[in-house]
Every structure is written in C-alpha cells, then in structure tokens.
Amino acid sequence: MPGDALSQDPAELRRRIDTTKAHPARVYDVLLGGKDNYPVDREAAAAALAVNPRGYLDVRHNRDFLRRAVTTLAQEAGIRQFLDIGTGLPTQENVHQIAQRITPDSRVVYVDNDPVVLAHARALLTSGPEGQTDYIDADIKQPAQILAEAAKTLDFDQPIALVLVAILHFIEDEEAYPIVRELVDALPSGSRLVLSHLTEDINAEKVRAVQRTFTERGFTFVLRSKAGVERFFTENGLELDEPGAVPVHHWCPDGAAPAPEAVDPTYFATLDDIEKVRHRDINDATDADINIYGATGIKR
C-alpha cells in the first residue's frame, strides 16, 4: 500500500541504497542542481557534461516542460488527477504544487522505486487541505501493481493525466510499449498522457556521446526517433495535442522558465562544473542544445 511505503524502517531504506552505482533519478537531481545524490552520481553527471557541456539544458528544460504541461492540463483541460511515474527526487515545482495552485482539490499519486526518492517522499505529500497526494514505492515495470495502488487515491472513472517524463528512454522497446499500453488502457476517456523522451534526431553527436557515458555505467539508454515517441500515443489510440511531439523548449513556451538568482562572478569562477549548474540560466537555450521531445495527448 502507498502508506506502507512511507513506514519503512530507515535502516532498511539505507540498506536498499546502492551508493556504488549511479542511479538515473539521482543523476537527474545532480543536473537540476540538487543535493540528494552521491559521489558516483556526480561522477556520472560530470562525465555527461564533459561530452556535452550544455547537457544540463535538456534536464532543466524537461522539468520546465513538465511545469507547462501540468499547468495547461489543470488550467485549460480541467484535469484534476495526475499519476506521475518515475517521479524522481522532490524539487521546487512538483506536480501537486503546480496542479493544486490552480485547482486546490487536485489528486496526485507519485511512483518511484529508488529508495533515496522514498526517503524524501514525505516532501511530495504536503498536499493542501482540499487535495490529496500519495506515493507508491514501485517500478514502472509493474503496471498492474501501480494501477491497483493508485486506485486507492485516484478515481479511474474520471480523467487522469499519466505523466511519463524522461523515464521511457531507460526501458527497451519490448517492455516500454506494452507497459504504456497497459497503463493507458486503464485510463478513462478524457485522460491525457504527458511524455518526454531523449532522441538522437536533433543533435545526434552530442546525445550519443552522453548515451555512451551512461551505458558504460550500466544504464539502459534508448534514444527514440520522433516516430518512436509518437508511437506511444498513436498505437494506444491517443490523439496528440498541439503542437505535437516537439523539442521540449518549443512545447507551448510561456516565457516563464525560472531564472537563477544573481551570483558573484568571482565566487562562480571557484565552482566546479557540477556546482555551476544550479546557478546557470536556461533561458539562453538554442535548438542546438535540446535533445528531448515533449508531447501530450488525449484519450477519446
């Protein structure tokens, strides 16, 4: 049960954390400027930045795509329920904060299987009094378990936004497409899929170099074409929303990407590349920087 996940013994959680191997959620946290990671994760992030120095823009713009997508669905499409799989570590703008700011009675269920994420999951459950949030300790490869536990919080007779942001490129085709099919099949009419995915369509040399750094560390890392990304929608009977599957910085831009606070240049110069990430502005991104598609679609 979701509640049971949060009652796990802290000592047991610590035993589950493998600090000898980089984990995607923690590497993502590094590139967002977070601190909930380990030296092995920072080393993986540093290796990725060494081959693509502006690679942090993919991660940061991916996160800003999530902000805009949730805002659009809550504000314009009337979505009141969100199932966010592959949540990652808590950040400033989590799905429930975005949605409940617009519609206070929104319900959000988060799903992740990294014990570090679980250790911080209570930060994801600070729902407003009218809404509800929950956390499921599960792997995306267990869709039946996820759906059964999510149904304790979400009403599957009402539209739900399924959020699969920057997670499917860690899963091979033979598993990824059936998983999404099973999840979408359980959603009622009017539901939405929010998806982002790394690709080699755009800046192939850069993203393939990053792919190599991660596969060398044991990650599954699948780069899909635009057609491969669209397949998650089309083969499940979903109709892509405008503007379709596009580089994330072009998906309904609103000019509100967060800008960092000013930092003393002398201090900034003393930081290493990883520490500098949190202070960098993402508003100068160009098409040559972004290697990730974003899209949403509706189930009729």
- pLDDT tens, residue by residue, 221-236: 999 999 999 999 999 9
Global confidence as pTM: 0.92
Angle (CA) 128 167 218, round 5° = 130
287 Cβ contact partners less than 8 Å away, ≥ 6 residues apart: 202, 247
The pLDDT of residue 19 = 87
Q: Measured between alpha carbons, how far is 63 from 202 in angstroms, rounded to an integer?
A: 19
181 Cβ contact partners less than 8 Å away, ≥ 6 residues apart: 235, 236
Q: Is the dihedral of CA 7, 9, 12, 17 positive or negative?
A: positive
- pLDDT tens, residue by residue, 288-299: 999 999 999 999
223-226: which pairs have CB atoms within 8 A and are 24 or more residues apart?
Answer: 223/169, 223/198, 223/199, 224/168, 224/169, 224/197, 224/198, 224/199, 225/199, 225/200, 225/201, 226/199, 226/201, 226/293
